[in-house]
């Protein structure tokens, strides 16, 4: 019998790519999203790519009653992948209450339902931001967490603790995936990052600038003590990242996880600077990018990249795509999106 998996935030960027991977691996999927930063065009793309019409609940998980309707209609859900959350670091500094209320209340509600409806596996979108301002990289899962640099980061730190405490005496087993910097798009060109709000993340800012949606862009800080002065991050292709969720579910469904909660870094373990990313974009696409060098962005960490050996050893996960794949697919997607 097929396992049924609820994907919250399923019309969003990482959620929609993960739905494709789940369907390709024989899972049945139910999607929930409040649609505030994505729309159902991703479900149309999923239908074209997989032939599956994924059931969709347009609901806000902060509404417990509405959340329960999913489980009343689908009491056979055995796994949940919880993506739904606000994720703009700068906005979270301006509106901390909004972030705490939205990201934590929705998490508490979905955990409540997971326990009540005897869900077996719960995968949580955490972030490398939980490590805070680290002094050395690579970081592994045992690296001590520093003070969060933003309320967004705090919701991920607190979220990890809420899950750990809540499921302790239940049947639920959980995996916390700490994502590094997801980027790129589906190789079909039909699916990619398409946020309702203007993106703040580096790769969509680059492609939007190159296509002319933005006049130019700024490199935030070129005076860091790194090889070229700009910040170092670990950019992971969204298709590789999606696979980590499916493998995490499998691990729990196959009773391989002994502890109630386990944590995995999901990055490719290769740190690249902002200027190297721009260089990769220009090389892969042949486009010349108009950018200026500017001051540091408050809250930015100088350098962080992952040690993902635990995910490789336990989940059998390893990245197969690199920065060139990221740029190629992100650019194809941007060109398609801009024609609409």
> Could you tell me which stretch among 53-61, 137-145, 161-169, 195-203 binds ligand UD1 (CB under 6 A)?
195-203
Q: Which of 166, 174, 181, 306 binds ligand UD1 (CB under 6 A)?
A: 181
Report the C-alpha gap between 30 and 173 in whole angstroms: 19
Taking the least distance from each CB to ligand UD1, the nearer of 183 and 191 is: 183
**At which residue do the structure tokens 């691996």 appear?**
25
Interface segment toward ligand UD1; rule CB under 6 A; list 49-57, 115-123, 194-202, 324-332 = 194-202
Q: Which of 200, 222, 270, 309 binds ligand UD1 (CB under 6 A)?
A: 200
Q: How far is it, in rounded angstroms, from Cα 76 to Cα 120?
A: 11
Q: Which is nearer to ligand UD1, 56 or 220 (CB)?
A: 220
At residue 80, the 3 state secondary structure works out as strand
d(CA 8, CA 16): 10
Task: Residue count of the chain, please give it.
Answer: 340
150 neighbors 89 (Cβ within 8 angstroms): yes
Q: Which is nearer to ligand UD1, 122 or 235 (CB)?
A: 235
Q: Which of 56, 100, 220, 253 binds ligand UD1 (CB under 6 A)?
A: 220
Q: Which region, judged by CB under 6 A, interacts with ligand UD1, from 4-12, 107-115, 199-207, 241-249?
A: 199-207
Interatomic CA distance for residues 177 and 182, integer angstroms: 12
The catalytic residue positions are 152
Interface segment toward ligand UD1; rule CB under 6 A; list 61-69, 78-86, 157-165, 294-302 = 294-302
- Interface mask (CB under 6 A) for ligand UD1, residues 299-328, using x and -? -xx--x------------------------
In sequence order, which residues have a C-beta less than 8 Å from that of residue 95 and are 6 or more positions away? none
Q: 63 — phi, psi (to 5°)?
A: -95, 105
Q: Does 233 bind ligand UD1 (CB under 6 A)?
A: yes
Helices (H), 36-192: 41-50, 64-73, 89-94, 96-116, 151-167
The gap from C-alpha 313 to its chain's centroid, in whole angstroms, comes to: 21
First to last CA, the chain: 40
Question: Does 54 participate in binding ligand UD1 (rule CB under 6 A)?
Answer: no
For ligand UD1, the binding residue among 121, 274, 327, 330 (CB under 6 A) is 274
Q: How far is the CB of 71 from ligand UD1 (least distance, A)?
A: 28
Positions in 140-179 near ligand UD1 (CB under 6 A): 149, 153
Q: Classify strands 232-233 and 261-266 as parallel, antiparallel or unpaired.
A: unpaired
- Using CB under 6 A, list all residues that contact ligand UD1: 87, 89, 127-129, 149, 153, 181, 200-202, 205, 217-220, 231, 233, 274, 297, 300-301, 304
């Amino acid at each position: 019998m097929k396992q049924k998996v609820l994907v919250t935030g399923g019309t969003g960027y990482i959620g929609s790519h993960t739905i494709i991977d789940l369907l390709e691996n024989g899972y049945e999927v139910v999607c929930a999203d409040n649609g505030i930063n994505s729309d159902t065009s991703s479900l149309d793309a999923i239908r074209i790519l997989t032939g599956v019409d994924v059931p969709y609940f347009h609901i806000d998980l902060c509404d417990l009653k509405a959340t329960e309707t999913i489980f009343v209609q689908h009491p056979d859900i055995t796994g949940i992948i919880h993506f739904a959350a606000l994720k703009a670091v700068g906005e979270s500094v301006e509106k901390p209450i909004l972030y705490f209320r939205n990201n934590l209340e929705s998490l508490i509600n979905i955990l409540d339902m997971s326990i009540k409806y005897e869900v077996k596996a719960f995968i949580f979108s955490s972030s490398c931001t939980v490590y805070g301002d680290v002094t050395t990289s690579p970081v592994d899962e045992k690296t001590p967490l520093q003070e969060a640099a933003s309320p967004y980061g705090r919701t991920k730190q607190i979220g990890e603790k809420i899950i750990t405490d809540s499921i302790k005496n239940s049947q639920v087993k959980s995996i916390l995936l700490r994502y590094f910097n997801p980027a790129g798009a589906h190789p079909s060109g039909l699916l990619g990052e398409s946020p309702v709000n203007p993106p703040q993340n580096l790769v969509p800012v680059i492609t939007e600038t190159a296509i002319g949606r933005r006049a130019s862009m700024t490199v935030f800080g070129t005076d860091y003590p790194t090889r070229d002065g700009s910040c170092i991050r670990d950019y992971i292709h969204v298709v590789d990242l999606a696979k980590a969720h499916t493998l995490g579910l499998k691990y729990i469904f196959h009773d391989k996880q002994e502890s109630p909660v386990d944590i995995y870094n999901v990055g490719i373990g290769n740190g690249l600077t902002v200027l190297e990313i721009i260089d990769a974009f220009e090389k892969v696409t042949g486009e010349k990018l108009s950018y200026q060098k500017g001051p540091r962005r408050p809250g930015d960490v100088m350098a962080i990249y992952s040690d993902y050996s635990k995910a490789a050893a336990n989940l059998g996960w390893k990245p197969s795509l690199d920065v060139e794949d990221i740029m190629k697919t992100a650019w194809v997607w941007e060109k398609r999106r801009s024609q609409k």
